[in-house]
Amino acid sequence: MAARLGPAAGARVAVTGGAGGIGRALVAALLGEGCGVAVLDLPAVLAAHPPAGGALPLPCDATDEAGVGAAFASLRDRWGGLDGLVTLAGFAGPKLAAGETSLALWTEVTEGNLAATFLACRAALPLLRAGKDPAVVTMASGLAAKPAPGYAPYAAAKAGVLALTRALAAENAPWLRVNAVAPSAVETAFLRGGTHAGGADAPRFDTDAYSRSVPLGRLATPEDVVGPILFLLGPAAAYVTGQTLHVNGGLLMP
């Protein structure tokens, strides 16, 4: 009998940044698989994009240590444990050369991606320990492996996410699997700065020129990223940990 490609029905999965473009598609897919889903995101984002029916909204700032801790404590009281965690929270910020990037912007972007991933994973570990065949999927980026001009803070933060992913996989084996998904550009509000911040001020992304550079000839859709996440959460990936799954239409072939 073929292994199930997504998490088991009834699995309890927390998704940070779950009210964003990829997050909404993932939450809908998880609910469709019969999973219990908690959506952790900023209060304003949750208000603008309420989670699909059946998902549990938990307002929190992914960079706030106390807030993240309180959100996962609430999950522990409600569910007792977790079977999966997906860390989608993050944003790129404005496009600037490294030499023109202020320390404040560098700190905001690295905290919004790397620190946010660390805080969620650390807070979730005790709940995952109480789960069944638990797995974590972090969100990286192809820019972690091949930085593009203007995205130094984001590329550095996502490279840090990959290192953190491997460290967590090594430290928590064999009871926990931890893997990363690294997409290229995805057709969401993220291309205009992200659901988090900066969308109105971010420079226009030239989707036509970018698509011409991709061997498969188009941008990724949220659904293109959801499938790999579901795979890494589920039993078909039972022997996969510490890995990075690139989802980029052939743009990067490491």
- What span, in angstroms and rounded, lies between the C-alpha atoms of 216 and 200? 29
- What is the pTM for the complete model shown? 0.92
Within a domain: 4: no
**What is the separation, in whole angstroms, between the first and last Cα of the chain?**
32
Average pLDDT along the chain = 92
Cis peptide before 134 (omega within 30 of 0): no
12-39, pLDDT tens digit by residue? 999 999 999 999 999 999 999 999 999 9
Q: Specify the pLDDT at position 251.
A: 87
Within a domain: 254: no
Say which CATH number the domain at 133 has. Answer: 3.40.50.720
Within a domain: 81: yes
| Residue 154 among the catalytic residues | yes
Q: Which of 151, 154, 210, 239 is catalytic?
A: 154
Within a domain: 180: yes
* Full domain range(s) for residue 232: 12-247
Residue 37 CB-density burial (10 A; 0-12 exposed, 13-18 middle, 19+ buried): buried
Reported as half-sphere exposure (CB side, CA atoms, 13 A), residue 166 has a value of 8
Within a domain: 7: no
* Number of domains the chain is built from: 1
E strand map for the chain? 12-16, 36-41, 56-59, 84-87, 135-139, 177-183, 244-247
Question: Where does the pLDDT of residue 200 fall: very low under 50, low under 70, confident under 90, or very high at 90 and above?
Answer: very low
Q: Output the furthest CA–CA distance in the chain (Å, rounded).
A: 56
- What span, in angstroms and rounded, lies between the C-alpha atoms of 82 and 7? 12
Within a domain: 225: yes
Within a domain: 50: yes
Q: What amino acid is encoded at 204 in this protein?
A: R
89-138, pLDDT tens digit by residue? 999 999 999 999 999 999 999 999 999 999 999 999 999 999 999 999 99
Within a domain: 253: no
Which of 2-6, 227-231, 234-238 shows the lowest mean pLDDT across its residues? 2-6
